[in-house]
Amino acid sequence: MKRAIIAIQGFYRWFAGHVEVFVPVHTSAQRKFNARNKVKHSFMYGQIYEVHVDEILDIENMRLKPSGYKKHWLTEAEKKAFLDSFHTERDKAIFMLLCEGMRIDEALSIKYSAYDSDDLTVKPSRSKGYTDEYEDKFRIIAFHDQRTSEYIDRYIQTERADVETALDDYLVPMFVNLKKHDVSYGKAVTYRNWWGVLKTAAKKVGIDPTEIATHVGRRSFIQEKLEEGEDPEIIRQMVGWASQKPLDAYRDTRSKKVIKNAAERRRSRW
């Protein structure tokens, strides 16, 4: 059952990214409550039973988004511009985690207890849709940029502390909704929440929001490591890939640094 749910979640992530739906689509988190008056959270797959399928698939109510150009990575100047455009320390911290090579679902799944401010490490509780029962397989991420821990610490000491004080409760998720009058106040930040934040920031930076992807920070990290001449196997381990195959997409770029480093590695084996 869990594998089926993961597959459906993956489809709706793709669906939300490639199709614009012009009918009101609600998740069960917005409409259903249990006996204790707590919101029942359901991810995008909740749309299956919240909206009639024929309503979603009506060709008059949707259109494919143009695939077009996607910005694969950011320059240092662009990363700084994004950081300057975010309104909260929380958003800056999430962005920096993505620039450490984390997947978006990994970054948003982090529990407060999984952050080690002394060792500058963090461990996700979800990766590629898999959750708790696979947690022993999740890698530990060591920060390469000192700013990452600085943003996280500031967020914990200010914005997150304010939410815990207001709710008078211990919060398990690291990154939570900061809007006081929102039904999800104090709940974990969702993929859709972050997607909206990133698109808004892209506009401020001067990048077309349709050209930005949620994993642009992760891609930037990989590109930087290739340009620094990092060993492909080390990169694979740092980003949590099962093989080095995904690196082929980066080697095909026109980056002179990547090409030069690849040539130097080949010569070193002669």
Element (H, E) at 46: none
- The reply to whether 71 falls in a domain is no
One domain, residues 159 and 204: yes
pLDDT at 179 over 70: yes
CA distances 101 to 95, 137, 189, 219, 241, Å, are 10, 17, 19, 7, 11
pLDDT at site 138: 81
User: Do both 90 and 182 map to the same domain?
Assistant: yes
- For the chain, the domain total comes to 3
Tens-place pLDDT, residues 129-144: 666 555 556 889 999 9
DSSP state of 164: H
Which pLDDT does position 258 carry in this prediction?
62
Residue 214 pLDDT > 60, yes or no?
Answer: yes
Range of the domain at 122: 78-210
Q: What is the pLDDT of residues 189-208, one digit of tens each?
A: 999 999 999 999 999 999 99
Collapsing DSSP to helix, strand or coil, 47 comes out as helix
**What pLDDT score was predicted for residue 38?**
46
Q: Which of 18-27, 157-166, 243-252 has the lowest mean pLDDT?
A: 18-27
Which pLDDT value is given to residue 232?
92
**89 and 9 together in one domain:** no
Whole-number pLDDT of residue 186:
97
The first and second tokens of residue 10, run together, are 């993956």
| Same-domain status, 200 and 222 | no
- 124 and 201 assigned to the same domain: yes
Domain assignment present for 16: yes
| pLDDT at residue 8, as a whole number | 73
Same domain, 103 and 144: yes
pLDDT band at 71 (very low <50, low <70, confident <90, very high): confident
pLDDT, residue 35, reads 43
| pLDDT for 261 | 60
Shared-domain flag, residues 59 and 85: no
Mean pLDDT of 164-185: 96
204 shares a domain with 84: yes
DSSP β-ladder status, 19-21 and 62-64:
antiparallel
Is 72 inside a domain boundary? no
Report yes or no on 69 lying in a domain: no
Q: Give the tens place of pLDDT for each residue, 78-96.
A: 999 999 999 999 999 999 9
Residues 54 and 152 in one domain: no
200 and 87 in a common domain:
yes
Q: Evaluate whether residue 240 is within a structural domain.
A: yes
Residue where a domain stops, chosen among 193, 210, 227: 210
Residue 210 in this model has a pLDDT that exceeds 50: yes
Domain stop point among 64, 86, 110 = 64
Helix axes 256-268, 216-227, angle to 10 degrees: 50
pLDDT of residue 249: 81
Q: What is the CATH number of the domain that holds 110?
A: 1.10.443.10
Retrieve residue 39's tokens.
């919101």
Q: What is the pLDDT of residue 255?
A: 61
Contact by Cβ (8 Å): 62, 22: yes
91 and 182 together in one domain: yes
CA distance to 122, 128, 190, 204, 245, per residue, from 109 (Å): 11, 11, 9, 27, 26
In the predicted model, what is the mean pLDDT of the chain?
Answer: 79
DSSP letter string, 91-128: HHHHHHHHTTT--HHHHHH-BGGGEETTTTEE--S-BT
